[in-house]
Amino acid sequence: MPLQTNKYKLYLYLFFFIFLTSIFNFKILDNYQEKFSLKKIYIYGLSNNEKQSIEIELNKLRNINIFKLTEDRVLKTLKKFNFLENIYVNKVIPSTININLSKTLIIGKTLRNGEYFYIGKNGNFIKSNQLNETINIPSVFGEFRIEEYIDLQNILSENEVDLQNIEKYFYYKNKRWDLLFSNKLTLMLPSQNVAKSIKIYKKLLDSDNLINKKIIDLRITNQIILTNYNE
């Protein structure tokens, strides 16, 4: 009979030992999860206004285990903010991430399906409510592809045309552009050989032949048509 009693006590002690150690392990696990859950998110590189909506989205990542939080998941969260051009994510153990962001250059504004958009150098149409832009940027009209507009600006820059002097761009269905400058001069470009036409415009500009001119029409190959203001 004493042997059975001792065996009973042994089982009882073993049960309490397992029970107590399990509670202890659960507490360790809870403390571990709490210590390494995301608590602080710091954003650098943007103005306070630009950070507000981004912070709202990133706050959804709080309390996720920092070891399980991948860079891809952060990038997916930021994907909707297409005015961003460069994103760098740095984890700081145990519970912080630092995110360095840079905004793309805004090179125009346009109307698409009744809604205003900014045009980003990164090749994106950006909803106007994502940014608070007060800079002087040109308006772009027509159903153009953003790559076509960027290509045109690149050609203009390569030929040292000051983009700050262009107020409006007009795109036509036959894939050509008109440019309205701040001095109210209109440059009509052809659908092909745009770079060559820009060089012609630059020569005219340098020769002072554009005094009192309202329109430079370069649509026809090997032909220059100049229109005065009184015509």
Cis preceding linkage at 94, omega within 30: yes
Tell me where in the chain the CATH 3.40.50.11690 domain(s) lie.
Answer: 106-228
Reported as a single tens digit per residue, the pLDDT across 116-170 is 999 999 999 998 888 876 678 999 999 999 999 999 999 999 999 999 999 999 9
CATH number of 106-228: 3.40.50.11690
- Cα–Cα separations (whole angstroms), residue 214 to 138, 184, 188, 220, 222: 19, 7, 11, 18, 20
Tell me where in the chain the CATH 3.10.20.310 domain(s) lie.
Answer: 40-103
pLDDT less than 50: residues of the chain: 1-4, 9-10, 12-13, 15-17, 19-20, 23-30, 32
CA dist 125 and 146 (Å) reads 8
According to the model, what pLDDT value does residue 150 have? Answer: 97
* E strand residue ranges, the chain: 40-44, 84-92, 96-103, 106-112, 115-120, 125-127, 139-141, 166-171, 177-181, 186-188, 213-217, 225-228
According to the model, what pLDDT value does residue 29 have? Answer: 41
CATH number of 40-103: 3.10.20.310
According to the model, what pLDDT value does residue 31 have? Answer: 52
Residue from 192, 134, 194 nearest 179 by CA: 194
